[in-house]
Amino acid sequence: MSPSIDFSNWGWSKKSSNSTSTSKKGNPVVVTMENPNYSVLEINGPDSAFQPVEKDRTKNAKQFTWVLFLKAHKAVNCVAWIGNILCSLMNSVKKRIFFGTMESDESDKSMKAKLLFRVIIAFLVMALAFLLFELIAHFKGLYYFHNHNLHIPQTWEIKGLFHEVYVRWLRFRVDYIAPTIQFLSNFCIVLFLIQSVDRMVLCLGCFWIKYKKIKPLIVDGNVEHDLEGSNHGYPLVLVQIPMCNEKEVYEQSISAVCQLDWPKDRLLVQVLDDSDDESIQWLIKAEVAKWSQKGVNIIYRHRKFRTGYKAGNLKSAMNCDYVKEYEFVAIFDADFQPCPDFLKQTIPHFKGNPELALVQARWTFVNTDENLLTRLQNINLCFHFEVEQQVNGIFLNFFGFNGTAGVWRIKALEESGGWLERTTVEDMDIAVRAHLNGWKFIYLNDVKVLCELPESYEAYKKQQHRWHSGPMQLFRLCLPAIITSKVKYYTFIVSALHNFRKNTYSKHVVVDMLQIAFWKKTNLIFLFFLLRKLILPFYSFTLFCIILPLTMFVPEAELPIWVICYIPVFMSFLNILPAPKSFPFIVPYLLFENTMSVTKFNAMVSGLFQLGSSYEWIVTKKSGRASEPDLLAAEERESKAMSLQLHRGTSDSGLSELNKIKEFRETIPPKKTNKIYKKELALAFLLLTAAIRSLLSAQGMHFYYLLFQGVAFLLVGLDLIGEQMS
């Protein structure tokens, strides 16, 4: 039913003679609607409905109230979201404390390995004592620490025994402790600046490579035509897959290598199995047998004694008589999956380049987005390959071999002494010795090999310990050889003949050769080993985890704000540039890198002074996500391997053994638990204690840094950053 409206009283024809431009026109009329869906409207005249409406007049009290309600609703949701995160975090911490297991590595059982932990505990106890002392002084009205220009009271100004003890502590702190801490902090700042300059130079080199589009070129342009002809144009290539108890990933690497686009009669695959689990040995043998039936030239090798770890495994395989026929060897770890055209992208670089010993490819990762730990690892490794390896390969023709996803000239390996078992970084060892012998390396940033990142903090920590203790152990062994090394005679003769043909031979040739030798030694000692392997973990741990908290209790020794905030943020920004999608993680990355400094520092010291587990090799745990999208796929693979043995006429004893293995796996699942790390927890409490002390001195930036860094150490110490075990 439409509303009844009476138009007789609207009075549009009436005008008031005394009205002005701002007066109201007509009489106000209230229209009552019978239909509740219509609104009540007040019309003041015939033109009022067509006049522009002012925005301010449309805002009534009800609208303002609704706006406030909406804003309050958003604020409540934000608070609830933060509360849920905190509750989840507290629940995780509670469960970890009650159900987590304390870190109990073999290295922690030795007294030497516990030295760093005891030093951190000593600093923590001192920090707590200093904090308690300062709090008592604060409540007693002794505010000397608020003033940077410390005024120590005279004898007649001292009131009471506590006041006298406090004044003596101030004098001792000013005269002895503050100068020592200030000297150490200045020393670490100098190291920090030197390392930052080195990092910036590497970044500038990377920008120059990108700007000029510099890439390693194939010397012989007809190599592709040679490869397209008969198989005799293809060199003999040996592919080695070293592995040890790699149950989760053995199949993916063997499958990828067996599908390389290379003539089968010019390729030999060696599966070098060091597994001590017989069930895993059976599975790997079955996989090798499967590809052997398909016509792939593949061999399974197993050592009874795992001496020398990976280096011993590779050395044993290279001693085979048939290896002498091969010219190149490609190495892939068990979780690496090369593309089918890998050899066709790498081998051509060797032709026409007799001084080339190694072609290294880049790593890419299948589980980058699995958790926060893998994302942070991806930032580091992207910078390593995109910047460090590429710049060193282009400008120096030398870099550290990554141990996998590379092709070696077998002649270079033999002339450099082959694989040695003296360290846990056999890849870096052979690279240094080959470099001293005059061989050159090439890094191909466009050739990528798929692999897997460790998803648990336990696996990542053990990997980093090996990566940082091994180089220091190698440095001790290689330093005399680097200092006494000389230019090889054949290199000198080749260079002399080259200059003679160009009529430029002179005494300057000898000087140039000596300069190259001197630069090579300087690069190896100061840049490759000292700056990037020793100085970086030393100042990171000492400056940001020890000296900075101590300056909160000794205000006379100060750290500039640019050391704590500006330069670290800028350097983190440079590190993230090769992985632009990781920019949202710049703050967690900065905090996590400082957190990992305790592990790297401990590994560096143990390798340099042969402490603890400097020669311990622990295989990095893998989840096999590249080949196992779910548990069903794993079960299907096992059944395939067992059925293959059945078709090949395996004996009854072998079948019964496989059935026992299957039943054993079904009945006893592997036990996995998260661990609690003592060193990280001790440093967390030390930094949080220093953060509380910084509040008394009103040092805002220092407080926030210590607070966030302490929380980061706490999360890592409780193993809440990586894979979470149920």
Q: Is residue 474 part of a domain?
A: no
The dihedral region occupied by 308, where left means phi > 0, alpha psi between -120 and 50, and beta the remainder, is: left
Rg (CA), the chain: 35
pLDDT of residue 125: 85
Helices (H) and strands (E) counted in the chain, each on its own, are 26, 11
Domain that holds residue 82: 67-99
Least Cα distance to 526 among 492, 496, 483 occurs for: 483
pLDDT of residue 107: 44
DSSP state, 456?
S
Looking at the chain, how many residues does it have?
A: 726
Least Cα distance to 719 among 111, 97, 133 occurs for: 97
Collect the ranges in the chain with pLDDT lower than 70: 1-60, 62, 85-86, 88-113, 138, 140-160, 221-232, 487-516, 612-614, 625-672, 698-699, 725-726
Least Cα distance to 683 among 563, 593, 549 occurs for: 549
pLDDT of residue 65: 78
Least Cα distance to 433 among 396, 389, 398, 468 occurs for: 398
406 in Cβ contact with 331 (< 8 Å) = yes
DSSP annotation string for 193-214: HHHHHHHHHHHHHHHHHHHHT-
What are the structure tokens assigned to 142, written together?
């002794």
Beta strands in 625-703 (DSSP E): 675-676
Give residues with Cβ within 8 angstroms of 236, minimum separation 6. 266, 267, 268, 325, 326, 327, 328
Question: Would you tell me how many other CB atoms lie within 10 Å of the CB of residue 339?
Answer: 17
State whether the Cα torsion 327-333-335-336 is positive or negative. Answer: negative
333 in Cβ contact with 420 (< 8 Å) = no
Q: What's the CA gap between 347 and 234, in Å, rounded? A: 9
In terms of Cβ atoms closer than 10 Å to its own Cβ (0-12, 13-18, 19+), residue 70 is exposed
pLDDT of residue 222: 57
In terms of Cβ atoms closer than 10 Å to its own Cβ (0-12, 13-18, 19+), residue 230 is exposed
Residues 1 and 28 in one domain: yes
What are the structure tokens assigned to 244, written together?
């040890």
Q: What's the CA gap between 711 and 725, in Å, rounded? A: 21
267 in Cβ contact with 239 (< 8 Å) = yes
Least Cα distance to 424 among 462, 396, 451 occurs for: 462
Residues 12 and 38 in one domain: yes
Residues 1 and 42 in one domain: yes
Q: What's the CA gap between 396 and 523, in Å, rounded? A: 9
Give residues with Cβ within 8 angstroms of 45, minimum separation 6. 12, 24, 25, 26
Taking the mean position of all CA atoms in its chain, how far away is CA 712? 15
Q: Is residue 405 part of a domain?
A: no
409 in Cβ contact with 356 (< 8 Å) = yes
Q: What's the CA gap between 600 and 602, in Å, rounded? A: 5
pLDDT of residue 167: 77
Q: Is residue 270 part of a domain?
A: no
The catalytic residues are 274, 427
In terms of Cβ atoms closer than 10 Å to its own Cβ (0-12, 13-18, 19+), residue 102 is exposed
Nearest 5°: CA angle at 163, between 157 and 167? Answer: 80
What are the structure tokens assigned to 100, written together?
């987590």
What are the structure tokens assigned to 271, written together?
């599966």
435 in Cβ contact with 393 (< 8 Å) = no
Q: Is residue 226 part of a domain?
A: no
Count of domains forming the chain:
2
Q: Is residue 260 part of a domain?
A: no
Residues 42 and 73 in one domain: no
What are the structure tokens assigned to 200, written together?
């910036």
**Distance from first CA to last CA of the chain, Å, rounded?**
67
Least Cα distance to 244 among 526, 716, 714, 618 occurs for: 618
Q: Is residue 7 part of a domain?
A: yes
Residues 3 and 44 in one domain: yes
Residues 38 and 72 in one domain: no
Least Cα distance to 134 among 122, 126, 123, 142 occurs for: 142
209 in Cβ contact with 390 (< 8 Å) = yes
Q: Is residue 674 part of a domain?
A: no
Give, in order, the Cα–Cα distances in Å from 287 to each of 264, 542, 660: 18, 49, 19
| Beta-strand relationship, 29-30 and 298-302 | unpaired
SS3 string, 126-150, reads: HHHHHHHHHHHHHHCCCCHHHCCCC
Q: Is residue 16 part of a domain?
A: yes
pLDDT of residue 660: 52
pLDDT of residue 554: 86
441 in Cβ contact with 360 (< 8 Å) = yes
Give, in order, the Cα–Cα distances in Å from 432 to each of 571, 585, 677: 28, 35, 35
Q: What's the CA gap between 224 and 359, in Å, rounded? A: 17
